[in-house]
Every structure is written in structure tokens, then in C-alpha cells.
Structure 1
Amino acid sequence: MSITASMVKELREKTGAGMLDCKKALEETNGDMEESIVWLRKKGLASAGKKAGRETSEGVIAAFVDGNHATIIELSSETDFVGKNEKFLQLADSLVKSAHNFKGDVISEFLTSHHGKATIADLIAEHIAVIGENIILKKLKKISVPHGKIIPYFHNRLTDNIGKIGVVVAFEGEVNEEVEEFGKQLAMHIAALKPLALSKSSLDANVVEKEKDVLRAQALGSGKPADVVEKMIEGRIRKFLEEIVLLEQPFVVDGKTKIKEIIEELQNKTKSNFTVSSYIRYEVGES
């Protein structure tokens, strides 16, 4: 009998298996829905749907860097054991490369795009069935510079481009060997110190205002005059910014020189006209 798209869709909704597998099952069973479910179960492909609601707090960060363009993803799993599974790591590598070639970084649109004859969502569903755990593509982002280089770093590295923490830093301008070496150290710094923003100007103003409100309430409780309170707040905000803004942070290598000062010194020393234009830091399980 003729296998229709609606039949494939119905079987997919019942089993969670990939569309190509559903079509194959229906063809093998002459369109019998119940027999198709049995066929898929025997192949180990009918369990993905049942696993789709499980919580995923483990997994990996994968990145693909192509000169001055990069893509980074978080692929999550239920357990750390699966997060280190070779098939899971191969899936992460395949997904980040497919995402890099995909136009845009909207996850829902990427999932409906095609990987060969199947969709990305189908590919993930097939791996859920085989691996036996829920798998979710949680994050996807891209970074690029017109002229320059993107430098990656992975903490708890599992493969060349996969780890538990992933960082990509974009350098705009002239990037020689010395600048690139600094870039590697800076990426490690970002992995360790978790800055919230590149610069004070790029930091969400609401973050600063909320911190000021907290500090003001604490200071006013001390009974000090209002003018003294405001000076106290100014000093504490400077300290706060040093903790969360990358360019204001003390470099992790020496613990005292600010990142922006290190950059200025390197620019003068190497006569290189470069800037740190942006970065992305992903860590498994972070919101």
C-alpha cells in the first residue's frame, strides 16, 4: 500500500522515532501502525519519545572555529557517563559543524533543517533511541569578526573541540603569534573567572542599578550620612565591576594587572592594531 506523509507523522508522534525510520517501518509492515511500532521497538528506535521529557543536566560544549568565524553549542544529556560516550561526542561534533554551515542561530529553525535526508531533530531522536537517554540541543550561538581571528579554549577537554566549558574569543585586527598566545591565556581566564560582559559599556545597566540598590540599602543601615553612603557605593561598584567585567578584571596570570592594561601593553609592544571585540563562554548545566 502507499505510505502517506500523515501515516509517517502519526507513527513518529507515537514512537518518537525518526521520520525515515518510521517510513521504513511502515513500508516493511505494509502500513500496519501497530506492527510498525513493534518493528521499531525491535530495532531499538521506538523509545526516544518516552525519554524526551527527562531532565538533562550533563553533556558537553562543542565549538567549530573557521578562521574568523565560530559556532558553539551545548548538547545536554541525562548523565555524565553518556556525556563522555563516543557516539554522543560524535553527535556533538556533527551538530556543531552542521550548525556552523546553517544560516542563523535559532535552535528551532536549525532543528527543522536537514542533515542529509533527515532533519537535525530526527538525527537527535535516533541517537536518543540508540544511546538510551534524553538528548537536547540547549544552546547555539555564533561569533565572527570581519578581519582577525577567533581563539577557542576547552576546560575538561574530551576531544580537540569538545569539553565541559567552552570559550571562543574574537580578536579584531592584526593577530600575530604573541597576540594569539595572549588570546589563549585570555580564553582560559574567561573560563575561570566567568565575566558577565566584555566592557562596562556593554554591561546591562539593570545589573549595575540592582547592585547599587543592594549596596545603598546595606550602607544606609549603618547610619552614615547620605554623602558618605554614596561614596561608599561608588567604591563598591568599582570593585563589583572588576569582578564581572572582562576588561576590568585582574588578569588571572598575575592576579593584579587589569585585562585592559595587558591589552594596551601588548598593543604597544607588538605594534599590533588589535582589539578584543567579543567572546562566548558556555558551561555545561549553566542557565
Structure 2
Amino acid sequence: MAITAAQVKELRDTTGAGMMDAKKALTENDGDMEAAVDWLRAKGLAKAAKKSGRTAAEGLVAVAVEGGKGVVVEVNSETDFVARNAEFQEMVAGIAKVALGTSSTEELAAADMGGKTVAETITAKVGTIGENMSLRRMGYVEGKTVAAYVHNAATAGMGQIGVLVAVDGDNEDIARQIAMHVAATSPASLSENDLDPALVEREKQVLTDQAKESGKPDAVIEKMIVGRMRKFYEEVTLLNQKFVMNPDLTVAQAAKEAGVTVTGYARFAVGEGIEKVEEDFAAEVAKTMGG
């Protein structure tokens, strides 16, 4: 299949690979972006298998904690301008408060909020503010102690990244520090036992391909993979990560020293995982003018 310049640019932005390497990777994998990333990593030509950070959605993530429960919600808007609007922020704060009594996005959308459902409240706000909005998702954690942290806060309790951490113990300070750690590192799961099996299998395959490139015997390759998978778990699982407040300890060790055990977390970032639609404004104007 024909590989476009846009595809090559996206792959280069994602991996840091050279232009010709990116083009070859896409050609070898029939334009499959994810497979091309893995191909580059196996050849040692990619910096990391990271998704592009481009997002279409703006809006806010809000957190609320009551007793042993914490909730995090994401409400999207079309522009960052609306996200800074006090009327929009007031609505998002109200939705987060309602979320404390729910356990799913669907339940939250149908929940009562001053005589209207949350979904109806958002629809009405679209009419008054004049911009499309949506309740994208909600999550929650429960535990003996729950702490929340908001990064890049627009106002109290809401901003660009919202994190909840639940611990079995009474130390709220360490729970909040771990929440700040989660905001910075974005772990894939609490521990290796919670990792997506597909993610683990994909990583093993990439590491196997990398090891085979070394030309070493199978017995050596097997040991290399075990060691590299251990390092992978240390990088992507919260309990095994080096604690940002004290890199001499893992998060699990830091929690233990503080007399608690981390039992769960949730991390939302505005618009994560949503591709931004790139528009050619000049071409659109030319088309409108018949050019």
C-alpha cells in the first residue's frame, strides 16, 4: 500500500526514528502504525513505544472525596476557552459531587442533578454556552484513606490531570504524595498482576525480537528477556516504580515505611487517547472560495 507523508510524520513524532527508517517500518508492516512502532523498537531504531500526545478534546477533570470514596470525572468541551469559563467549572464541580453517589459513567449520566439528569444538565449548558460538551467518563476508588491530587489546576478540585489514591492505613500525606507520583509517571497498572495480558505479550515479543538481533544463544536470550521484563514491570507498574519523592525506594517500599499499603488508584488526563483532527485551514478557505 502507498505510505503517506502524514503517516511517516506521525510515526517519527511517536518514536523519534529517522524519516527513512519510519517509512521502511510502515512499508514493511502495510501501514499498520502499532506494528511499525514495534518493528522500529525491535531494530533498536525507536526511542519508545509511546502513543502520540495529540488530542481533540478539551475540558476538565474533576475530583471529589468523601469518607473512604473518591471519584474522578472528565467533562469535555470543544475549546480550552470554555474550560476556563466559571459557568462550565461550576457545572463540572456539581457533576463530581453527584458522582460520589454513583459507580459508572452511565449511572452518573442518569443521576439527578437539581431536578434534571446530569446528561440533561450538560445538554442545557450546551444551549447557553454555545459549544458542544460531553460527559466522557468517571472512575472511583475506595479505601481506608483516599487522597486526591489535581495537576495544572484551573480552580479548586479540577484541572488537566486528576488522580485518586486509596491506601489501607491512616496516612493521608503519603497517599497524596503517591497521587502526585501517579500524575507524573502515569503507571499502566497497580502491579504486574493487574497488567493487560495483551500489553505484556506485546512487550515480550518486542524484547524477544530485540534479543534475537544480538545473535546470542537461545539460553542467553531467555535470560535476557526475563531481566528486561523485570525492568519493564519496574517502569510501568505503580508499586514497582521508583518513588519520585525518594528514588531510593519503590512506591511499595515508601508506602510500607509510612505504615500503609496502596490498594488502588485512578488517573484521568483531559482528552487522553482521543486523536486530534488535523485541518488544513488554507485548503478549507480555498475550497470555500472555489479555488
TM normalised by structure 2 equals 0.71
Structure 1 residue 251 corresponds to structure 2 residue 257: no
1:150 positional shift: 0.4
Match among 214, 219, 222 for residue 206 of structure 2: 214
Please give the alpha-carbon distance, in whole angstroms, between the structure 1 residues aligned to 2:183 and 2:209. Answer: 32
Alignment of 1:88-127 (within 5 A): 88-102=88-102, 104-105=103-104, 107-127=105-125
Q: State the secondary structure of the residue aligned to 2:61.
A: strand
Assess if the C-alpha contact under 8 Å between 1:56 and 1:76 holds in 2: no
Q: Which residue of 2 aligns with 1:235?
A: 227
Q: Which residue of 2 aligns with 1:139?
A: 137
Q: Which residue of 2 aligns with 1:72?
A: 72
1:112 positional shift: 3.0
- From the superposition, tell whether residues 90 and 192 of structure 1 become closer, same or farther in structure 2 (CA, over 3 Å): same
Aligned partner letter, 2:141:
I
Q: Which residue of 1 aligns with 2:85?
A: 85
Q: State the secondary structure of the residue aligned to 1:255.
A: strand
Assess if the C-alpha contact under 8 Å between 1:63 and 1:161 holds in 2: yes
Please give the alpha-carbon distance, in whole angstroms, between the structure 1 residues aligned to 2:59 and 2:193. Answer: 33
1:89 positional shift: 0.4
Assess if the C-alpha contact under 8 Å between 1:58 and 1:79 holds in 2: yes
- Report the identity percentage: 39
Please give the alpha-carbon distance, in whole angstroms, between the structure 2 residues aligned to 1:61 and 1:276. Answer: 23
1:205 positional shift: 2.7
1:168 positional shift: 0.6
Q: Which residue of 2 aligns with 1:57?
A: 57
Unmatched 5+ stretches in structure 2: 1-54, 274-291
1:219 positional shift: 1.1
Q: Which residue of 2 aligns with 1:278?
A: 264
Q: Which residue of 1 aligns with 2:150?
A: 154
Q: State the secondary structure of the residue aligned to 1:264.
A: helix
* Bigger Cα displacement from structure 2, 85-94 vs 206-215: 206-215
Q: Deviations along 1:171-209, whole A, 9 cap, x unmatched? A: 12x31xxx3221121110000000011112222233222
1:109 positional shift: 3.7
Please give the alpha-carbon distance, in whole angstroms, between the structure 2 residues aligned to 1:184 and 1:128. Answer: 34
Q: Deviations along 1:155-179, whole A, 9 cap, x unmatched? A: 011222111100010012x31xxx3
Assess if the C-alpha contact under 8 Å between 1:56 and 1:134 holds in 2: no
- From the superposition, tell whether residues 184 and 114 of structure 1 become closer, same or farther in structure 2 (CA, over 3 Å): closer
Q: State the secondary structure of the residue aligned to 2:94.
A: helix
Count, aligned residues: 219
Aligned partner letter, 2:161:
I
Please give the alpha-carbon distance, in whole angstroms, between the structure 2 residues aligned to 1:110 and 1:255. Answer: 39
Please give the alpha-carbon distance, in whole angstroms, between the structure 1 residues aligned to 2:257 and 2:142. Answer: 25
Unmatched 5+ stretches in structure 1: 1-54, 268-273
Please give the alpha-carbon distance, in whole angstroms, between the structure 2 residues aligned to 1:181 and 1:100. Answer: 22
Aligned partner letter, 1:276:
V
- Could you say which structure has the larger radius of gyration? 1
1:240 positional shift: 0.9
1:56 positional shift: 5.3
Q: State the secondary structure of the residue aligned to 1:72.
A: strand
TM normalised by structure 1 equals 0.72
Aligned partner letter, 1:166:
G
